[in-house]
Structure 1
Amino acid sequence: MNSYEIIKIDDSTWRIEDNGARFFLLSGDDYSLLIDTGMNVKNVKAIAQSLTDKPIKLINTHADPDHIGANCEFSSFMMNTLELDNYNIYQKCSGKVIPVNDHEIINIGGRSLEVIFIPGHTPGSIALLDIERRVLFSGDTIQAGNIFLFGPMRNIKTYLQSLERLNSLKDRFDFIYPSHANPVLEPNIIEKLIEGTKAVIDNKLSYSDASLFGQKIKVYDIGCAKLLLN
């Protein structure tokens, strides 16, 4: 089922809603940048190309399966190489991996995106700061939905450090575009996530038991989001 919805944010930015997941297309003067490829949508490259006449580059915020579903349609993609073990679990197609570095600037022509490493949700998670437009594309790390911190390669203490890092940069962005739940968030959610995550780490919050993907998990409702742990 190829069910999706394209939402135009402005004349050069779109979000594609993919049954609970979300990915983005940003257009510059020279290139367009696709941030993730969703999970269920097919022909993502053709869909993106229908929105822009510029060549398309792909970057992945991380390699959970709902972010790399159509990566096989691209001959190359940018990614933090710390994410490759995670990628190889879920995606078997070939493709040239173009490594990105922390603080690297990706200039697509009159529009610059800064790569920010934010491990914790996964080892190689990144955010992208749209510098001139003062928008942060946060992947799964900042959101108002369910934040997965259970299973291999996820670490809540590292996640907290990444939240604190993003909080130290919040004077550089006015809005956050996450990959799940509410499409637009304000930077003050980061402090709320920090407070809730600290409470979970310090065993100051109760949890409810649940089962997800065959695993027993603990669900911590921290008010602004829910943290899912083993």
Structure 2
Amino acid sequence: MSWEKIDESTYQYDEGGVRFFLLMGKKEALLIDSGMQTHNAKELVKELTDLPVRLFNTHADVDHVGSNEEFDEVMMNLAELVNYKLPHPSQKIIPVYDGDVIDLGERELLAIALPGHTPGSTALLDKNSGMLFSGDPIQDGHIFMFGEMRDLSAYIHSLRRLDKYKDDIKGIYANHGTLPVDYSIVPKLIEGALQVERGEIVPTEADRFGKTVHVYDVGVASFLCD
């Protein structure tokens, strides 16, 4: 496992099935999520930059917070705190709400709340490049919608909101699946989720973490539901 360059100031680190990202501005670097198996992401950042590094979590599922214990501060949507356990008591949560902008120094990232996969799922849109760092909701792999806190209706409404940003989004960079995917996947995911809600797709069954879940193949991705 090693860093892979996306462009001169953007990198991904792929653990095999899950990835996290490093974005560099003129003043700061930002780690978007911190892996699952990786527990030294902050240290790994030093391979690429001497800039001070901050951490933003798209959400707090276990495969996104592996190196969170390295940080004294972490940025996330406060709605995600129901899904997050502080790795140490002194860690400070920096709230990031829908519409907030994280400025790394001549590189502004717009926060877009996408609840549904989890309550506080939040994407970041790089205003300069048009890259949307989406977390888990927008991808061509398996989208987990089973268990507590998942809400398919909220997910559909969240993706519909993205329509006002579609001209600004040049590529979608998710933590799973193909990198990048085109915005054209969004309406297909919406339609697929609606078909699941309407009972129009016959699911198969699979075991995930000792739980039997229903797998709905919608063509561009699969939704794993209760």
TM range (shorter): over 0.9
Q: CA deviation at 1:50?
A: 1.8
Which residue of structure 2 lines up, in the alignment, with residue 153 of structure 1? 149
Which residue of structure 1 lines up, in the alignment, with residue 40 of structure 2? 43
TM-score, L = length of structure 1? 0.96
Q: CA deviation at 1:65?
A: 0.3
Q: Which residue identity does 1:52 align to in structure 2? A: T
Q: CA deviation at 1:168?
A: 3.1
Structure 2: distance between partners of 1:48 and 1:76: 16
Q: Deviations over 1:7-58 (max 9, x none)?
A: 0111110000012111000000000011000000131101012211210011
Matches within 5 A, 1:56-75: 56-75=53-72
Contact 1:62 1:139 (C-alpha < 8 Å) held by counterparts: yes
Which residue of structure 1 lines up, in the alignment, with residue 132 of structure 2? 136
Q: CA deviation at 1:92?
A: 3.5
Which residue of structure 2 lines up, in the alignment, with residue 188 of structure 1? 184
Matches within 5 A, 1:73-222: 73-88=70-85, 92-94=87-89, 95-222=91-218
Q: CA deviation at 1:111?
A: 0.3
Contact 2:68 2:87 (C-alpha < 8 Å) held by counterparts: no
Q: Which residue identity does 1:127 align to in structure 2? A: A
Structure 1: distance between partners of 2:201 and 2:165: 28
Contact 1:103 1:116 (C-alpha < 8 Å) held by counterparts: yes
Structure 2: distance between partners of 1:21 and 1:78: 20
Structure 1: distance between partners of 2:69 and 2:163: 34
Structure 2: distance between partners of 1:166 and 1:65: 26
Q: Kindly, what percent of the aligned residue pairs are identical? A: 46
Which residue of structure 2 lines up, in the alignment, with residue 54 of structure 1? 51
1:206 and 1:168, CA in 2 relative to 1: closer, same or farther beyond 3 A?
Answer: farther
Structure 2: distance between partners of 1:202 and 1:223: 16
Matched, 1:28 2:25: yes
Q: Which residue identity does 1:93 align to in structure 2? A: H
After TM superposition, the structure 1 stretch with the greater mean CA deviation from structure 2, 4-13 or 130-139, is 4-13
Q: Deviations over 1:123-167 (max 9, x none)?
A: 000000001111100000100000000000000000111111123
Q: How many pairs align? A: 225
**Consecutive unaligned residues in structure 1, runs of 5 or more:** none
Partner-residue secondary structure (3-state), 1:177: strand
Q: CA deviation at 1:93?
A: 2.6
Structure 1: distance between partners of 2:105 and 2:171: 22
Structure 1: distance between partners of 2:161 and 2:209: 30
